Amino acid sequence: MRQEFGCKHRGDEPPAVPSKMSQRKFYRSLHLVQAVSEDEFIEHLDLEALAREIDSGGAVGQVWASSDEINAAKAAQLLTEMASDPGFFQLAEDGSEEDDQEDEPAPPTPCEQGEPGV
């Protein structure tokens, strides 16, 4: 019977490295605008023009808003879903700070930490 010596962890996946998610706070706001007018064109207005139409034009409107605090990982996900980039807030895709992603060495394997082999 052949016995192998060396690292008993060889071939295993390296241990999972906990994410260094940014601790900064982010906020998601949702706004719903309802407008009533006699003109059909109102559906094609951007928010600025719609506000002007409600404020001093021929439409009546109502706005509802809600906001909630989200973590950096959720912010990064939402930025991507909105065709933006997590880098807008200096975040990596996993919600960690972009600066933390630069050339970090891989964590040591159990063998490199001195655990005995088989």
pLDDT tens for each residue of the chain, 118 residues long:
444 444 444 454 544 444 589 999 999 999 999 999 998 888 899 999 999 999 999 999 999 999 999 999 999 999 999 999 999 999 999 999 998 655 555 566 666 666 665 5
The first and second tokens of residue 87, run together, are: 């880098």
Buried b (16+ CB within 10 A) or exposed e, 82-116: eeeebeebebbebbbbeeeeeeeeeeeebeeeeee
CA gap 19, 71 in Å, rounded: 13
- Which residues are paired to 61 by β-bridges? 35
Query: Is residue 70 exposed (0-12), middle (13-18) or buried (19+ Cβ within 10 Å)?
Result: middle
Q: Are 70 and 61 contacting, i.e. CB atoms less than 8 angstroms apart?
A: no
User: What pLDDT digit, counting tens, does each position of 61-90 carry?
Assistant: 999 999 999 999 999 999 999 999 999 999
**Cβ contact 79:73 at 8 Å:** no
